[in-house]
């Protein structure tokens, strides 16, 4: 009965929002129409995960079975999108030794990740830089510029200095034009990649007005689109509100980091909005119930604003709860996952802007050195794994119903066209012989 009710509501939605009357390229690339993702002509919803470590681990051929195992486990639970790093700047086992100088072994690791994702039917969101020092980050770019004689006083000069921006633009160009040694497809031409991400959690605390980050996103979005028009692009934002909507700033968890959820995501080259949520990090003194209440409001307002103010899809690209928290239990983590999944599903079934969510983070068995508290090994977390699989099934059902309705509409239009054709022929049929 629930499926029938859902099908009826979606059929109304399909015709109200004109999903069926426009043609789409059936090339496997995810695109946007209004505030929805589209894949091969049908609305697309993502249930996925983060695994920042994929390239790093895959750069060692002996460790690649862990990458394959992660994709296999994810696929068996219906997960369809993975977010991971396409950067590692300086330091130990880098992708980029120095500006423009690349580690081929690390790049082959990323090649393998993309090839395995394709094999298991998983799309990728690839992040191009880090706000933090892990894997180099903006600090490494600034230090590289200093070594070239630039006088820079802050890591935030990453967003302002022309030399630093030139280094970063070159990295974008190199990654997007990479020839995959496994698939023999350029990254920019590979539909396995869902989207590029400019930076993981960009922050510019030296300019709380938001002007610096706004200008940087505009410049870099234009640069990406000048190279690659196939793929979607997002900025990597956590979702903090800024000067555009001062009435929303009270929702922020006490941070003023120079980003603006509304203004940044309205930029033409940005195809969809993102939001992160870590109530246990952001509200450390609050109890679990207060943290869940915050999460519920945080997601509700962002879904609403993505739909009515930004008019683009919203993807929740990071969320989780740490087992290192005092009083942690799998039940409390499941409550948080349930909250996120319910907000996504309830929006999706109404045709809203919430297009999916990616939990942080998935590990394979035997990866204890990568455990950060938020890690989930599906085979070792049965209750959470069950929730994940249920959400995948629910979103699949919505997509399946959209697909059926689209096929019915195509059949009706084809039948109408045939009738019109025959009517036209009979209209001019000669009388007599």
The residues carrying an active-site annotation are 201, 318
Sign of CA dihedral 147, 151, 155, 161: negative
CB atoms within 10 A of CB 323: 17
Asked if residue 378 lies in contact with residue 385, where contact means CB atoms within 8 angstroms, the answer is yes
Residues 6+ apart with CB under 8 A from 2: none
Check residue 181 and report its DSSP letter.
Answer: T
Distance between CA atoms of residues 43 and 26, nearest Å: 13
* Sequence-distant contacts of 155-163: CB under 8 A, at least 24 apart: 156/204, 156/205, 156/206, 156/207, 156/212, 159/202, 159/204, 159/212, 159/213, 159/215, 159/216, 160/212, 160/216
Angle at alpha carbon of residue 100, lines to 218 and 226, rounded to 5°: 35
* Sequence-distant contacts of 98-101: CB under 8 A, at least 24 apart: 98/144, 99/144, 99/167, 99/170, 99/171, 100/167, 100/170, 100/174
The per-residue DSSP string of 10-50 comes to HHHHHHHTTSSSS----SS-EEEETTEEEETTEEE-EEEEE
Distance between CA atoms of residues 273 and 264, nearest Å: 9
**Nearest residue to 243 (alpha-carbon basis) of 256, 229, 228:** 256
Asked if residue 49 lies in contact with residue 79, where contact means CB atoms within 8 angstroms, the answer is yes
């Amino acid at each position: 009965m629930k499926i029938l009710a859902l099908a009826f509501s979606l059929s109304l939605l399909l015709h109200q929002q004109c999903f069926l009357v426009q043609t789409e390229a059936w090339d496997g690339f995810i695109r946007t129409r209004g505030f929805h993702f589209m894949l091969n002509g049908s609305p697309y919803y993502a249930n996925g995960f983060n695994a920042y470590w994929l390239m790093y681990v895959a750069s060692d051929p002996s460790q690649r079975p862990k990458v394959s195992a992660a994709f296999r486990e994810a696929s068996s639970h219906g997960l369809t999108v993975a977010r991971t790093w396409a950067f590692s700047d300086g330091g130990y086992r880098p992708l980029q030794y120095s500006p423009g100088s690349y580690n081929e072994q690390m790049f082959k690791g990323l090649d393998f990740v993309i090839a395995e994702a394709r094999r298991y039917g998983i799309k990728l969101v690839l992040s191009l830089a880090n706000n933090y020092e892990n894997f180099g980050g903006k600090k490494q770019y600034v230090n590289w510029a200093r070594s070239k004689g630039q006088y820079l006083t802050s890591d935030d000069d990453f967003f302002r200095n022309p030399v630093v921006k030139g280094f970063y633009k070159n990295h974008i160009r190199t990654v997007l034009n990479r020839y995959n040694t496994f698939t023999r497809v350029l990254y920019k031409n590979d539909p396995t990649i869902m989207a590029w991400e400019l930076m993981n959690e960009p922050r510019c605390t030296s300019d709380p007005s938001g002007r610096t980050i706004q200008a940087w996103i505009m410049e870099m979005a234009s640069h990406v689109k000048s190279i690659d028009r196939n793929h979607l692009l997002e900025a990597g934002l956590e979702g903090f509100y800024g000067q555009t909507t001062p009435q929303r700033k009270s929702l922020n968890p006490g941070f003023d980091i120079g980003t603006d959820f509304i203004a940044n995501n309205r930029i033409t080259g940005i195809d969809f909005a993102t939001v992160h949520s870590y109530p246990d990090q952001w509200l450390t003194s609050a109890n679990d119930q207060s943290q869940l209440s915050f999460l519920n409001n945080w997601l509700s307002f962002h879904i609403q604003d993505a739909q009515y103010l930004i008019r683009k899809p919203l993807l929740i690209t990071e969320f989780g709860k740490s087992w290192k928290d005092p009083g942690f239990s799998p039940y409390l983590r499941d409550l948080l996952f349930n909250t996120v999944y319910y907000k996504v599903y309830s929006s999706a079934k109404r045709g809203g802007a919430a297009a999916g969510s990616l939990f942080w983070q998935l590990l394979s068995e035997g990866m204890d050195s990568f455990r950060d508290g938020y890690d989930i090994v599906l085979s070792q977390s049965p209750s959470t794994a069950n929730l994940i699989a249920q959400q995948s099934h629910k979103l699949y059902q919505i997509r399946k119903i959209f697909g059926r309705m689209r096929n019915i509409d195509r059949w009706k239009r084809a039948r109408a066209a045939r009738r019109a054709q025959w009517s036209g022929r009979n209209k001019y049929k000669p009388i007599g012989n």
